[in-house]
Chains A and B, each alone.
Chain A
């Protein structure tokens, strides 16, 4: 987008936001490339995989030992490598965000938790004195978050979105909710593209400076137009569903039964989780 049009239009921020959301979703779709590659986790039934990841996340949350967290993380990295997920892509995706969010949450604890201080540095009216128990707690917290987020990211990277949704039914998420989630994911992408197209169409016809009120009117008009189109489309989608026998209750296809390899993977993950919890208690 040229700077000139941005200055004239003043809707560049909205256009950028929409383009950003669209490209994020496209990236998310693009990452299904990993979910479709031939790796260890990709071959595991999504229901087994969901169970495996949930028990390990539970173990990481119950553990109070940094050594155990590091051990779990090493296992996750091994699983990612066995699943052909690129190492740097996986590590960056997890650790670029965690220091920002988890770090901000635990910073106060480093200074307020009582106990011996690592050092005591007077800085004018305040004293910078991080406590050793506070630091250990912060590192443990970040390690737990890191392990849990790594597991979630690995699950998403190695499982197609549709399979992930279906596996939610095994933990008793209602079918109607799963269908609504799937349809929301399906159509939000379509409408974001539509909104981007509308902004591009406006940009291509913009030949003079527009006033603030005109721009606000344009944005509200665009929102109204999208709402109208979404209502029309929802009516058409309902008609298409009714035309194929939908009467309000959802029936879904039951996937094949889990195989021996899936059960073994699940049992293995449970064993890892149990060992992690016991080891954590022993080390404590």
Chain B
């Protein structure tokens, strides 16, 4: 699996956080994993079809998801309710949409599916992929991971 596919996703993540939240994500470690296992509680899964088939998974800690939605709404959020997860799902949708524009510049034509939300602790998100590329990000609002699995 080629790491260059990851670059449009990293660029889109960076751009969306800066534009919408005035937050600059710092890219941390990139790793290759066998499975998509996350210790983070708010997960947004975006399925991808077309020249690349697979999925992008955005995994936010509960604290970060609450802070992001607070930074947008100006209201206090206490739990990962449907309002919070849906707002985060749309964020994943927007980042992924922008990433497909970046992939199109590498002559890869991809479509994305509506976001699916998975919440809870120590989640194993199964996929048909053998390998998952994972990038860690750190922001003023907390930490999150972006995983990209290609089938």
Is A bound to B?
no
Query: Which A residues form the contact surface with B (CB < 8 A)?
Result: none
Query: Which B residues form the contact surface with A (CB < 8 A)?
Result: none
